[in-house]
A = this chain, B = another copy of it.
Amino acid sequence: MKKAAIGVDIGGTNTAIGVVDELGNVVVKDNIATPSHGDVDRYMDDLTLAIRGLMNSVNLMNPEVEIMGIGIGAPNGNYYAGTIEHAANLSFRGIVQLVKLLKVRFPELQAIALTNDANAAAIGEMIYGGAKGMKNFVMFTLGTGVGSGIVVNGDLVYGCDGFAGECGHTTLIPDGRLCGCGSWGHMEAYCSAPGMKRTAFELMARYNANDSLLAGIPFNELDSKMIFDAAEKGDKIALEVFEKTGQWLGMSLADTAHHLSPEAIFLFGGPTAAGDYIFRPTKASMEEHLLTSFKNKIKILPSQLKPGDAPIVGASALVYKEIEKSDLN
């Protein structure tokens, strides 16, 4: 009997659903709209239909596959409560009892669990990716924001209320840039993809760099891919954006390392596609900021999850962690 798990990634406009095999491959997948109507029951009906559809098609392909459960990654997902709470980008008001509602609809499944996107990515890395066999590591997801998932002794750290792992909102530069959360100087405002854009414009302003390859692109159009392309062509501003971003990220990772002394820190997301442009200065800066007893020990690694499928794959991995926990109890 082969095992598989369902991963659900709830985004602002789209909900992606996939069946993931034990190696972390998405076997079949589907999409439904994350509604703007705010009606939880209608959404649950749509979601149930889509999941049942995928379960049936897996069963047709291979009746030997056993579906173990459903894992969900969602903004503001609270693992302890199985709820989505006051998510700014979703139309649902207040608290949605997602796990409870799904358990009623899928009583035959062993495990249904939910957490936020970055935590799901961390568990995905642990079950299917580069963190297999690691007991202490941290996952950073660099995108529009910066998320993080912390693993200690083989378990995700949820904290007292399910909200642990908000490393993107630690203060990097006191009274620095405005962060998306409304506060100031957070590492997310420097190390996310929009943070890199802001750095590019700060540097062009600093050097009055009319000759930069980035100088013809308006603020609201520049993205981290354009900065990478310019760096590949030797553009000084673009190259310095990666240097600065790496310095900031490395300093922040050293702070996290001093808290947790992890074996490795994994980086996931758009900016990491730039490879050595970002990894080299990040590693150098982290080492520079580490205490002697921490130096030359902690690996900074690219996530082994495939970019497109990672949120589904990460969410599905939750299922195996849940079953492992219930086996222990």
A110 within 8 A of B: no
A169 CB–B CB distance under 8 Å? yes
Asked if A194 is at the interface of the complex by the 8 Å CB criterion, the answer is: no
Chain B residues with CB below 8 A from A289, complex form: 171, 183
Number of identical monomers bound together in the oligomeric complex: 2
- For the complex, is A160 an interface residue (Cβ under 8 Å from B)? yes
**Beta-carbon nearest neighbor of A86 in chain B:** B293
Interface string of A130-160 (1 = CB under 8 A from B): 0000011000000000000010110101111
A181 located at the interface, meaning its Cβ lies under 8 Å from any Cβ of chain B in the complex: yes
- A169:B291 contact, CB within 8 angstroms: yes
Question: Which B-chain residue is minimally distant from A298 (CB atoms)?
Answer: B160
Collect the chain B residues with CB atoms within 8 Å of residue A136's CB.
Answer: 159-160
Contact of A259 among B76, B165, B171, B293 (CB under 8 A): B165
25 A-B pairs in the complex with CB atoms less than 8 angstroms apart: A135-B160, A136-B160, A150-B260, A152-B152, A152-B159, A153-B155, A157-B260, A159-B260, A159-B261, A161-B261, A161-B297, A163-B293, A164-B260, A164-B261, A166-B259, A166-B261, A167-B258, A170-B254, A171-B289, A173-B174, A181-B291, A183-B291, A255-B255, A259-B259, A259-B260
